[in-house]
Amino acid sequence: MSREITPLHIMSAFQVEPPALDFIISGFLSGTVGALYSPGGVGKSFLALEIAASVAGVDLLGFGPHCTGRTLYIALEDPEIVLRRRLFAIGSHLSLQQREIFAEKVEVLPMLGVPFDLRDGRHANWLTARADGVRLIIADTLSRAHSGDESSNGEMAQLLRVLERIGANTGASVLFLHHVNKSSGRDRNGDQFSIRGASALLDNARFGAAITYLEHDDAAAGTRIRYSVSKNNYAAPIPHRYFLRHEGGVLLPASQEHDDETGESPKEQRMGQRLNHHKPKALSSLLNPCGSPYLAAKNGETHDW
């Protein structure tokens, strides 16, 4: 054992009211492991950076007040120039004071091409030491952080135990980014069963959230994205949230006036449209003015973020 195991004092638990639960963001308890997943190119890396900003105390997402702290962002799949462009885009929405807070409390490590495998004890120990005093660790993406079989429940359960151990030893929450399976990406499904690979990835996590594209009634308003918490072990159910993609790819809050179960606007409900049951359509530059790597590649177009 790497640490002393102390039995819980039962009578004390009966008699002493415990402190309030400490959430990183709504539903994501501090010191636990969570997943953020989506089809490729929807914007989960941007959302993760903005979650890091929110934890730092710079709340672009409208997630509301919570305890703040430092974030360690492990960028395993994107080159440094892309990370710099994302940060530049986010910075355009911040004041000088907010930029300074972000820079002080968020550490981004460009690790594309760096050998990194959390199943290797040396790498797990390195991350544990590097995350000392950190409130949130973000691994972007999980598939680049291990050499195991993603479809094996046994191997993925073992990987989640490594993340749990890092959280237990540092006090940090660990948020890993991941993709959805093909059918879920096609149907814009963000439920608990849409995550790619072994079910243990989300079964063993204590929090799961997904983002998916939704079409918008008004093309000029841009691309609407739904954020839905699919798994939440320690809080009341959390309503869907909606974001619009802005210049450079930044996600900012959109109108929240949608049905919490379907994600439909009032107009869509009247017309009987169920957006989450439609195959996604290629979005024109008018609908998606800031570009998406996933859709641009599909359409043979270029993108700049």
253 alpha-carbon distance from chain centroid: 16
**Mean pLDDT, residues 33-39 taken together:** 95
Quickly state the pLDDT bin for 305 (edges 50, 70, 90). Answer: very low
Q: Which residue has the higher pLDDT, 120 or 295?
A: 120
Quickly state the pLDDT bin for 258 (edges 50, 70, 90). Answer: low
User: Is residue 147 over pLDDT 50?
Assistant: yes
Structural Rg of the chain based on CA atoms: 19
Q: Which of 244, 247, 196, 188 is nearest to 212 (CA)?
A: 188
Residue 228, SS3 per DSSP: strand
DSSP 205: S
Domain boundaries, the chain: 22-299
User: Is residue 51 over pLDDT 80?
Assistant: yes
Copy the structure tokens of residue 19: 């402190």
Q: Which helix (H) or strand (E) holds 160?
A: helix 153-170
Residue 219 vs residues 202, 232, 252, 262, 283: alpha-carbon distances, Å: 35, 33, 17, 20, 10
* CA-CA-CA-CA dihedral for 253, 193, 206, 53, to nearest 10: -30
Write out pLDDT tens, residues 263-304. Answer: 444 444 444 444 344 444 333 333 333 344 444 433 444 444
Write out pLDDT tens, residues 151-196. Answer: 999 999 999 999 999 999 999 999 999 999 765 544 555 555 678 9
Strands 136-140 and 173-179: parallel
Query: Class of the 22-299 domain?
Result: alpha beta
| Interior/surface letters 152-174, b for 16+ CB within 10 angstroms, e for the rest | eeebbebbbebbbbbbebbebbb
- pLDDT value of residue 286: 33
CB count, 10 Å around CB of 284? 11
- pLDDT value of residue 1: 54
pTM of the model: 0.81
